[in-house]
Amino acid sequence: QSVLTQPPSASGAPGQRVTISCSGSSSNIGRNTVHWYQQIPGTAPKLLIYTSSQRPSGVPDRFSGSKSGTSASLAISGLQSEDEAVYFCAAWDDRLNGAVFGGGTQLTVL
């Protein structure tokens, strides 16, 4: 049971826009920024979004992040087949005094 809650799956056709949600609480997302990672099977996670809405260098602007209250979202526009991966959200939890992750969302490009 993950501290942050994500839908187990999401899907969309090429070119469409998909949103993945991440729900937390006042001790994590409510007080701290959210980070998003993309993991292609068999490889290490890759940082996609940091501090809720910032993109590291090299990440396409098709990826965007937002946060409101105790929830956060990752939006992917102009879906491409290469976007098929598992996406994880993460945040610091002040009550646990540690980093917590969501369970991951498997994105399928139809």
Partner 1 sequence: QLRLQESGPGLVKPSETLSLTCTVSGGSISVRYYYWGWIRQPPGKGLEWIGSIYYSGSTYIIPSIESRVTISVDTSKNLFSLRLRSVAATDTAVYYCARGAGPARDFDYWGRGALVTVSS
Q: In this complex, which beta carbon is closest to partner 1, that of residue 99 or of residue 110?
A: 99
Q: Which stretch binds partner 1 (CB under 8 A): 12-20, 65-73, 76-84, 90-98?
A: 90-98
Q: Which of residues 6-65 bind partner 1 (CB under 8 A)?
A: 32-33, 35, 37, 43-47, 50-51, 56
Tokens matching residue 103? 């369970």
> Could you give the C-alpha distances from 39 to 16, 20, 48, 79, 96, in angstroms and in order?
20, 14, 10, 16, 25
Q: Is 3 helix (H, G, I), strand (E, B) or coil?
A: coil
Distance between CA atoms of residues 9 and 87, nearest Å: 10
Q: In this complex, which beta carbon is closest to partner 1, that of residue 65 or of residue 76?
A: 65
Q: In this complex, which beta carbon is closest to partner 1, that of residue 59 or of residue 75?
A: 59
Q: Which residues contact 44 (CB under 8 A, 6 or more apart)?
A: none
Contact 73, 89 (CB under 8 A): no
Q: In this complex, which beta carbon is closest to partner 1, that of residue 16 or of residue 65?
A: 65
Q: Which stretch binds partner 1 (CB under 8 A): 9-17, 18-26, 69-77, 100-108?
A: 100-108
Contact 51, 107 (CB under 8 A): no
Residues that bind partner 1 (CB under 8 A): 2, 32-33, 35, 37, 43-47, 50-51, 56, 88, 90, 92, 96-104
